[in-house]
Amino acid sequence: MSTESNYYVPEESRLPVLGALALGLMALGAGLLLNDGASGILWVGTALLVAVMYIWFRTVIRENIAGMNSDQLKRSYVWGMSWFIFSEVMFFAVFFGTLFYVRTLALPWLGGEGDRSDMIHLVWPEFTAQWPLMETPSQAAGSNEFIGPDHHMSFPGWDKMFHWLPLWNTIILLTSSVTCHFAHHAMKHDDRKKFNIWLGVTVALGIIFLFLQYEEYHEAYTEMGLTLESGIYGSTFFMLTGFHGFHVTMGTFMLLIQWIRGLKGHFSSDDQFGFEASSWYWHFVDVVWAGLFLFVYVLA
């Protein structure tokens, strides 16, 4: 509820309409890239969006430093970030939902379970449902439309556990959440030196995670025959881990910016929302990974 007598309503701004133009150009450009192979407009749009976001965040930071943000406005930013993260939760929910649906319903039905088993057997008589799906229905029917992977990413057994990248990635990402929390704690107590160290460690862990994720993808494509095209296992695997990896990239970048801002002395023990919002995002990305580790890697 409103308690302030004045709420800061900003002057007219050129940024929003330029941001919308950038998104419009990106949508047009991405379509043109896929349909005609022309990437020019996509690059122009992306560059414009980056420029708009840079200036926009700079403006907001300067307004805050100038003391124009009341406590009430800061609460608006808190609500904004929280609901944005909620929308991200729903975005990942779609891909998790897809995974669960395929594993518990679609594949068993294709394999002949359920009310319509008599009909399914006419279409793919040789197909057996399994997870990870190594042989696709089209393969079972003798077509090479979709070829299943040669190897999968699941838990390799206790003896090979320590050569299994996802385990290391899990340890790295969970640790980074803890170090991020230490950084927050340090800033709450105005300990800038510790803040810089712990946040620096968090960013470094994020980068290591991304590097290992790249290694995993490289191995999948070059040695395991696991690609986007290897049936539903490859589709769900790359969709879930790919979007997660993209979010880790964003989160690492956000935290890196906050680290630089920390060095510039932007934060104080009671005003550090830029960092807090980024850290919420980071914890969210971490929780998603916990779900991924469980449902994509372990329980398979």
Partner 1 sequence: MAHGPAKGIGRWLFATNHKDIGTMYLWFSFAMFLLGGAFAMIIRAELFAPGMQLIKPEFFNQMTTMHGLIMVFGAIMPSFVGLANWMVPLQIGAPDMALPRMNNLSFWILPFGFALLASTLFMEGGAPNFGWTFYAPLSTTYAPDTVNFFIFGVHIIGASSIMGSINIIATILNLRAPGMTMMKLPLFVWTWLITAFLLVAVMPVLAGAVTMMLMDINFGTSFFDAAGGGDPVLFQHIFWFFGHPEVYIIILPAFGVISEIIPTFSRKPLFGYSSMVYATSAIAFLSFIVWAHHMFTTGMPIAGELYFMYATMLIAVPTGVKVFNWITTMFRGSLTFETPMLFAIAVVILFTFGGFTGLMLAVAPADIQYHDSYFVVGHFHYVMVAGAVFSMSGAVYYWLPKWTGKMYDETMGKMQFWIAFVGFNIAFIPQHFLGLAGMPRRYADYALQFSDWNMVSSIGAFMYGAAQLMFLYNVISTIVSGKPSTEEKTWEGAQGLEWTLPSPAPFHTFSTPPNVK
Which residues in the 160-219 window bind partner 1 by CB under 8 A? none
- Neighbouring C-alpha atoms within 13 Å toward the C-beta of 145: 8
- Binder among 54, 91, 214, 246 for partner 1 (CB under 8 A): 91
Can you tell me which residue has the tokens 């022309």? 38
What's the CA gap between 103 and 101, in Å, rounded?
A: 6
Taking CB under 8 A as the binding criterion, the range among 75-83, 164-172, 189-197, 283-291 that sits at the site for partner 1 is 75-83
Q: Assess 9 for contact with partner 1 (CB under 8 A).
A: yes
What's the CA gap between 238 and 215, in Å, rounded?
A: 14
What's the CA gap between 201 and 256, in Å, rounded?
A: 10
Q: Assess 287 for contact with partner 1 (CB under 8 A).
A: no
Closest by alpha carbon to 282, among 182, 192, 196?
A: 182
Question: Is the Cβ of residue 41 or residue 256 nearer to partner 1 in the bound state?
Answer: 41
Q: Assess 72 for contact with partner 1 (CB under 8 A).
A: yes
Q: Assess 13 for contact with partner 1 (CB under 8 A).
A: yes
Question: Is the Cβ of residue 17 or residue 294 nearer to partner 1 in the bound state?
Answer: 17
- Binder among 239, 250, 287, 300 for partner 1 (CB under 8 A): 239
Q: Assess 24 for contact with partner 1 (CB under 8 A).
A: yes
- Binder among 37, 66, 67, 90 for partner 1 (CB under 8 A): 90
Q: Assess 254 for contact with partner 1 (CB under 8 A).
A: no
Q: Assess 117 for contact with partner 1 (CB under 8 A).
A: no
In the complex, minimum distance from the CB of residue 189 to partner 1, in angstroms, rounded to a whole number: 28
Taking the CB of residue 50, how many other CB atoms lie within 10 A of it? 11
Taking CB under 8 A as the binding criterion, the range among 143-151, 161-169, 174-182, 216-224 that sits at the site for partner 1 is 143-151
- Binder among 37, 66, 67, 115 for partner 1 (CB under 8 A): 115
Taking CB under 8 A as the binding criterion, the range among 24-32, 190-198, 216-224, 258-266 that sits at the site for partner 1 is 24-32
- Neighbouring C-alpha atoms within 13 Å toward the C-beta of 40: 2
What's the CA gap between 296 and 23, in Å, rounded?
A: 32
Taking the CB of residue 264, how many other CB atoms lie within 10 A of it? 9
Q: Assess 241 for contact with partner 1 (CB under 8 A).
A: no
Taking CB under 8 A as the binding criterion, the range among 115-123, 162-170, 191-199, 214-222 that sits at the site for partner 1 is 115-123
Under 8 Å CB-to-CB from 124, ≥6 apart: which residues? 110, 137, 140, 141
Question: What radius of gyration do the chain's Cα atoms show?
Answer: 24
Question: Is the Cβ of residue 196 or residue 227 nearer to partner 1 in the bound state?
Answer: 227
What's the CA gap between 29 and 42, in Å, rounded?
A: 4
In the complex, minimum distance from the CB of residue 122 to partner 1, in angstroms, rounded to a whole number: 13
Can you tell me which residue has the tokens 């997660």? 244
The count of residues interacting with partner 1 (CB under 8 A) is 79
Give me the phi and psi of 268, to 5 degrees please: -135, 175
Question: Is the Cβ of residue 93 or residue 299 nearer to partner 1 in the bound state?
Answer: 93
